[in-house]
Amino acid sequence: MFATRFAPSPTGRLHKGHAFSALTAWRAARDAGGRFILRIEDIDPTRCRPEFDAGILEDLAWLGLDWEEPVRRQSEHLTDYAGVVDVLNRRGLLYRCFRTRKDILDAIGDAPHGAAEAVRPGPHPADEEAALLAEQRPFAWRLSLDRAREVLGGRAWEALAFVEDGQGPGGERGLIRARPETAGDVVVARKDAGTAYHVAVTHDDDLQGVNHVIRGEDLFEATHVQVLLQALMGWPTPVYRHHRLLTGADGRRFAKRDNSVTLARLRAEGVNPVTLRAELGF
């Protein structure tokens, strides 16, 4: 059965861009007679807030959407993601990285061959790592692309691919070869949450039976890493559909950080949800 999801993070109120994405996934599920899942991706304890969580439910109900219950909140399932990290670690796929964000940015600036290579720093020397651990310095776990290639084998690595049922930002369509190397050695667990986005989202898509991922084209590049994790964990790869991003009158895409007009504000101003849905093409 067709199953898709809308998975916002409660780090602010929803805006028109979120409404477009949610309606796109919801309509696809309804047209296919399938499942529409709402998932709250709240693994960031410093930015996610309960009032924004409640606001998501309020805004989507106002739009006229319905979804399966119960709603999965990732913050309630951190042990699930820790289990994935443990599996990857026991297979020798991870290494500790004590470098700060500034260290990484400085390395990117100095790298002669591009950012991805700068974010493949590799393990620290054993004596250096031991000293850093003794100092109780915080670290993140990174996925080693070199080790992942070894574990999968060259043929399986070359066969990593996904189906794009929409269109990537560069016009990509159809069967696309995954290129996880473009992202470097991504972080799969952070000190504050014990996990990171790529692990949590791929785990939950498998757990919840999501076989069609419908989301904005800004997440197209993330797909390459997620396909690799799916292969390493033996999870099926969904069909992906990346849609266009809505932009305002100034040509800039709607974003929380820009204080884009929220659905809550539109509702307070008396905007009818039917009118908004029509404006968005629904």
- Indicate whether 170 and 102 sit together in one domain: yes
pLDDT in tens, 202-215: 999 999 999 999 99
Q: What is the pLDDT of residue 259?
A: 59
* Segments forming the whole domain that contains residue 71: 1-76+249-282
Task: State mean pLDDT over 83-96.
Answer: 97
Q: What is the percent of the chain where pLDDT is above 70? A: 91
Same domain, 36 and 147: no
Position 275 pLDDT exceeds 80: yes
Same structural domain, 88 and 194: yes
Range from 33-37, 194-198, 207-211 carrying the lowest mean pLDDT = 194-198
pTM to 2 decimal places: 0.92
Look up the CATH number of the domain holding residue 103. 3.40.50.620
Task: For residues 177 and 166, state if they share a domain.
Answer: yes
Looking at the structure, do residues 55 and 178 belong to the same domain, yes or no?
no
Q: Report, in this order, helix, strand and coil percent for the chain, each rounded to 5.
A: 45, 15, 40
Give 5's strand partners.
37
| Residues forming a β-bridge with 216 | 243
Q: What is the DSSP letter of 269?
A: T
- Residues 90, 168 within the same domain: yes
- Asked whether the predicted pLDDT for residue 114 surpasses 60, the reply is no
For 196-222, b where at least 16 C-beta lie within 10 A, e where not — what string?
bbbbbbbbbbbebebbbbbbbbeebeb
Summarised one tens digit per residue, pLDDT across range 76-89 is 999 999 999 999 99
**pLDDT mean over 130-144:** 94
Task: Please report, rounded to a whole number, the percentage of residues in the chain having pLDDT higher than 90.
Answer: 84
pLDDT beyond 90 at 18: yes
**What size, in residues, is the chain?**
282
Q: What is the pLDDT of residue 115?
A: 54
* pLDDT on residue 247: 77
What was the pLDDT predicted at 30? 98
Strands (E), the chain: 3-6, 35-40, 72-73, 94-97, 140-143, 161-164, 174-177, 187-189, 212-216, 239-243
pLDDT tens digit string along 222-251? 999 999 999 999 999 999 999 999 876 665
94 and 59 share a domain? no
One domain, residues 229 and 107:
yes
Q: Give the residue among 218, 215, 235, 216 at the shortest CA–CA distance from 226.
A: 235
pLDDT category of residue 104 using cuts at 50, 70 and 90: confident
Q: Quickly state the pLDDT bin for 26 (edges 50, 70, 90).
A: very high
**How much is the average pLDDT of 179-191?**
92
Query: What pLDDT does 246 receive?
Result: 87
Residues 99 and 57 in one domain: no
Report the pLDDT value the prediction gives residue 188, as an integer from 0 to 100.
97
